[in-house]
Amino acid sequence: MTTDRRTLLKGLGATAALTLPHPVSAQSRGRVVVVGGGFGGATAARFLARIGHDVTLVERDPAYVTCPFSNAVIGGFYSMPEITFDYAALEAEGVRLVTGAATEVGDGAVTLDSGEVLPFDRLLLSPGVEMRFDALPGYTEAAAQKMPHAWKAGPQTALLQAQLADMEDGGLVVIAPPANPYRCPPGPYERASLIAHYLSARKPASKILILDAKEAFSKQPLFEEAWSTLYPGMIDWIPPSMGGRVAEVDPTTMTVVTDFDRYEAAVANIIPPQQAATIARAAGVTDETGWCPVSGVTFESDLVAGIHVIGDACFAGVMPKSAFSANAQAKVAAVAIDALLRGEAPNSPKLLNTCYSLAAPDYAFTVAGVYGEADGKLFEVEGAGGLSPLGAPAAVRSAEAEYARSWYATITTEAFA
């Protein structure tokens, strides 16, 4: 392997004309339909268009509000316009944008709610998640208007932010995260941190109670260290073994019922279980888990040939559901789709994830992972990745907060700008 790579390296060095993408020939120019314009779909659409394919992006909304940094909006130090992106840059690069919802996938074509039919050679689904409103008694779609999940950024984010602004000092904020797997595993705990940041300055007698469906959570020691340092006494976390599992909610009385207790919340952020968005089920690419198993080489569905799934909707083995993962998968999938359209064998990829969590505007930490592929499955490279160190000096936490902002600027530029 080393010899081959050394040889290839010399070859790369000797090749001068690498800068411009070589446009694909007329025969191998493929029609690719991308469904979903988040970090996965937007990145994949523009990479495929740059390579030279005929790309149509189907997106329900004219603009995308990012979940990353939506907790900073809730925490009061970012604004909604700062986390909102449109698709003008993609259209300028030749991506055909269709605003609408994909409702059906047939043999080589996607049908939209408008009735339009889009034929494809390859379909890339990056539809994200949908909330399961059948999973938690009392938590219906209507209930989410009183007890926002805010797990899709946009009006739900604004609703939660407004409820916190209206809350009296001394109120109880309940956050109820779901069991794994779900979009952005550390997100609920970042949210608790940034709500505490907001409340400690403005409504310091308030409390935050996390009623959890799981016994442990992502970056737990780092969050617990941050909470005791930054917000002593403000945040309580209750796992199921201590009675934290939410059994039922009542939005009319703002009551959250656990196995052992009832809590009347001033603000209730209920984050229900999730599954791959509806179009994935319509396309037949979900399994009994509600997610989409895919190849670790091409992100092609294990269940339906010709359909690729990336981002939060896919089950990519060990990779977590994060914006960074979706963006990294998008680039690998775009290159693999190009190879398949040209009748070539895609290369075995390596992928990364780096996920920042802010505990305060100037206090952040990360979890990272490096992923290789073997036998079509992604595995975590041993000895790499892991968490930021515990007990790090404030300068390290603030450096990671600056890098978090830099990461956000970069990944939103790559996907949308």
Partner 1 sequence: MRACFAAALLCVAGSVSAQDRTDPRTAPPGALACSGCHGAGSDIPLRGLSTDEIESAMLEFRDGSRDATVMGRLAAGFDTSEIALIAAWIAAEGGDE
Site string for partner 1, 57-96 (x = CB under 8 A): ------------------------------------x---
CB atoms within 10 A of CB 330: 30
Q: Is 161 left (phi over 0), alpha (psi -120 to 50) or beta?
A: alpha
Report helix, strand or coil for 385.
Answer: coil
Minimal distance, residue 393 CB to partner 1, in Å: 8
* Of the residues 352, 361, 376, 379, which one makes contact with partner 1 according to CB under 8 A: 352
In sequence order, which residues have a C-beta less than 8 Å from that of residue 132 and are 6 or more positions away?
272, 273, 274, 275, 290
* Of the residues 351, 358, 360, 378, which one makes contact with partner 1 according to CB under 8 A: 351
> Can residue 8 be called a binding residue for partner 1 (CB under 8 A)?
yes
> Can residue 374 be called a binding residue for partner 1 (CB under 8 A)?
no
> Can residue 363 be called a binding residue for partner 1 (CB under 8 A)?
no
> Can residue 359 be called a binding residue for partner 1 (CB under 8 A)?
no
> Can residue 362 be called a binding residue for partner 1 (CB under 8 A)?
no
* Of the residues 142, 216, 305, 395, which one makes contact with partner 1 according to CB under 8 A: 395
324 in Cβ contact with 355 (< 8 Å): yes
* Residue 235 structure tokens: 């945040």
> Can residue 1 be called a binding residue for partner 1 (CB under 8 A)?
yes
Per DSSP, 331 falls in state H
* Of the residues 30, 324, 340, 378, which one makes contact with partner 1 according to CB under 8 A: 324
Output 94 or 293, the one with its CB closest to partner 1: 94
Output 121 or 380, the one with its CB closest to partner 1: 380
> Can residue 18 be called a binding residue for partner 1 (CB under 8 A)?
yes
* Alpha-carbon span 108 to 104, nearest angstrom: 11
Output 283 or 326, the one with its CB closest to partner 1: 326
> Can residue 44 be called a binding residue for partner 1 (CB under 8 A)?
no
> Can residue 50 be called a binding residue for partner 1 (CB under 8 A)?
yes
Closest Cα partner for 131 from 180, 179, 182, 80?
A: 182
Count of residues touching partner 1 (by CB under 8 A) = 61
Residues in 397-416 that interact with partner 1 by CB under 8 A: 398-400, 402-403, 405-407, 409-414
Instruction: Give the H or E element holding residue 44.
Output: helix 39-51
Minimal distance, residue 407 CB to partner 1, in Å: 5
Write the burial class of residue 12 (CB in 10 Å: 0-12 exposed, 13-18 middle, 19+ buried).
Answer: exposed
* Residue 318 structure tokens: 């060990």
List, as one string, the DSSP characters of 88-153.
HHHHHTTPEEEES-EEEEETTEEEETTS-EEE-SEEEE---EEE-TTSSTT--TTGGGTS----SS
357 in Cβ contact with 364 (< 8 Å): yes
Q: Which residues bind partner 1 (CB under 8 A)?
A: 1-2, 5-6, 8-9, 12-13, 15, 18-22, 47, 50-51, 93, 324, 327-328, 331-332, 334-335, 338-339, 347-352, 354, 366, 368, 370, 372, 381, 383-386, 388, 395-396, 398-400, 402-403, 405-407, 409-414, 417
